[in-house]
Amino acid sequence: MSAESRAALSIRDLVVELGPPDSRRAVVDGVDLDLRAGRVHGLAGESGSGKTMTALAVLGLLPTPSRATGSILLDGEEILGLRGRRLSAIRGRRVAMVFQDPSASLHPQLTVGTQLTDHVRRHLRLSRSAARERAVDLLTQVRVPRPEEALARYPHQFSGGQRQRIAIAVALACDPDVLLADEPTTALDVTVQAGVLHLLRDLAEQRDLAVLLVTHDLGVMSAVADDVAVMRHGAIAEVAPREQLFTAPAHPYTRALLDALPDRIAAGAGTGGSDTTPEDER
């Protein structure tokens, strides 16, 4: 625990090894990371550095065969190694995840309304009308235009940016404390990326949500992350507040990553964007 508020999620000495016991390979090798309520924590690093495996370990979603050791505390409670009902009680309810491809979280043959209301009715035991009200409220929060009408539509009837907003609404349906977002804007047009990133930033603040934003793109970090951890070869090379990381990187690897960025981003200008849904996402 630090002098500040206790971390919503605290990862210590996480080691993830993939493969059968006789040929295990460590892809995460001693990661320490604290996620705090109301903040966006960036996890950057090149492809294959172990960012996704770190996030998947939190939710017990690692590929098999694999082994994860260390500690992952959710509000002080150990969740690494949980299985069955104890894991289900956490996955999607207290810790939720959105992926690069929103289709991974959305059922193509169910309306948005059904997906949102089924989820909250099952987990929160709400009446049909209360669940519908909550679904409209969630779609409003993620800034999907005309939320009442959106409930009756199917995922393919929305643009990629809107689909990702809907996937975020589904992830937030049970009011989790922690949201893991793995490359949530990588598949989107540059013009709509900024809107989704700013949405994550606002949701963290408004809902007191701890967000882990996994991306290989430091430009994305410069737009929204409060703190940035840089990962390399399965370990954290450096963690720092965004400003500090961009202006005075301590680790040579971070400096090399920053040197490879266009000047506009390295200066901390970010990817721009606004708080509203851009017209071309509608």
Ligand X SMILES: Nc1ncnc2c1ncn2[C@@H]1O[C@H](COP(=O)(O)OP(=O)(O)OP(=O)(O)O)[C@@H](O)[C@H]1O
Picking from 122, 121, 141, the residue whose alpha carbon sits closest to that of residue 131 is: 121
Q: How far is the CB of 27 from ligand X (least distance, A)?
A: 4
Picking from 206, 241, 201, the residue whose alpha carbon sits closest to that of residue 223 is 201
Tell me the site size for ligand X, rule CB under 6 A. 12
Least Å from the CB of residue 260 to ligand X: 15
Report the residue from 40, 41, 50, 142 that binds ligand X according to the rule CB under 6 A.
50
192 binds ligand X (CB under 6 A): no
Stretch that binds ligand X, among 43-51, 123-131, 146-154, 162-170 (CB under 6 A): 43-51
Footprint on residues 199-258 left by ligand X (CB under 6 A) = 216
* Minimum CB distance to ligand X smaller for 51 or for 163: 51
What string of H, E and C letters represents the secondary structure of 215-279?
A: CCCHHHHHHHCCEEEEEECCEEEEEEEHHHHHHCCCCHHHHHHHHCCCHHHHCCCCCCCCCCCCH
Residue from 10, 49, 117, 271 binding ligand X (CB under 6 A): 49
Q: Which of 9, 11, 15, 27 binds ligand X (CB under 6 A)?
A: 27
Cβ proximity to ligand X, 55 vs 209, nearer residue: 55
Shortest distance (Å) from residue 100 CB to ligand X: 8
Q: Residue 51 interacts with ligand X (CB under 6 A)? A: yes
Name which of 57, 58, 142 is nearest 94 in CA terms: 58
Considering the rule CB under 6 A, would residue 45 count as an interface residue with ligand X? yes
Q: What DSSP assignment string belongs to 104-152?
A: GTS-TTS-HHHHHHHHHHHHH---HHHHHHHHHHHHHHTT-SSHHHHTT
- Give the residue, chosen from 20, 48, 76, 252, that forms a contact with ligand X under the rule CB under 6 A: 48
Q: Least distance (Å) from ligand X to the CB of residue 199?
A: 22
Which of 170, 168, 177 has its CA nearest to residue 38?
177
In the set 47, 127, 129, 274, which binds ligand X (CB under 6 A)?
Answer: 47
Least separation in angstroms between CB 196 and ligand X: 18
Rounded CA gap, 77 and 216, in Å? 30
Closest CA to 104 of 184, 216, 197, 176: 184
User: Whole-angstrom Cα distance, residue 41 to residue 237?
Assistant: 15
| Shortest distance, position 76 Cβ to ligand X, whole Å | 26
Question: In this complex, which beta carbon is closest to ligand X, that of residue 63 or of residue 241?
Answer: 63
Considering only 9, 11, 18, 168, the residue that binds ligand X (CB under 6 A) is: 18
What CA–CA distance (Å, rounded) separates 231 from 245? 13
CB 17 within 8 A of CB 62: no
Show the tokens assigned to 136: 């409209």
Instruction: State in angstroms the smallest separation of the CB of 61 from ligand X.
Output: 11
Chain contacts with ligand X (rule: CB under 6 A): 18, 27, 45, 47-53, 63, 216
